[in-house]
Structure 1
Amino acid sequence: MKANSALGFEPDGALGVYVHVPFCDRRCAYCDFDIAVRRSIPHAPYLDALLRELALRAAEFEGMSARSFYVGGGTPSLWDPNCLDALLRRLEERFGVPEEITCEANPESFGLELAHRWKESGVNRISLGIQSLSSSLLKQLRRHHSPEQALAAVEAARRAGFEHISADLIFGLPNQRVADFERDLETLCASGIDHLSTYELTIEPQTPLWRRRARGHVVAAGEDETLVMFERLDEALPAGFHRYEVSNSAKWGGWSRHNLLYWLGGQYLGLGMGAHSLSRTRGGASVRSANGRDLKHYLSAPFPTFKEDLSPAVHLAERLFLPLRTHFSVDLDRLEAEFGKPLVESFSSALHALTKDGLIEWESPRELLSTKRGRALHNALSAVIFDAVP
Structure 2
Amino acid sequence: MNTPTSPTSPTEQLLGLSALLTPIELDWQHRAREFAATRIAPTIDDDYEREVFRRELVPELGALGMLGMHLTGHGCAGAGAVSYGLVCHELEAADSAWRTFVSVQGSLAMTAISKYGSEEQQASWLPRMAAGEAIGCFALTEPDGGSDPAAMVTTAVLTDGEWVLTGRKRWIGLASVADVAVVWARTAEGIRGFVVPTDSPGFAATNIAGKLSMRASIQCDVELGDVRLPESAMLPGAAGLAAPFSCLGEARYGIVWGAMGAARASLDAAVGFSRTRMVFGAPIASKQLIQHKLADAFVEYEKGMLLALHLGRLADAGTLTPEQVSVGKLNNVREAIAIVSSMRSVLAGDGITSAYPVMRHAANLEAVRTYEGTDEVHTLVIGRALTGLAAFR
The alignment's TM-score, normalised by the length of structure 1, stands at: 0.29
Bigger fraction of residues in strand: 1
Higher helix proportion, which one? 2
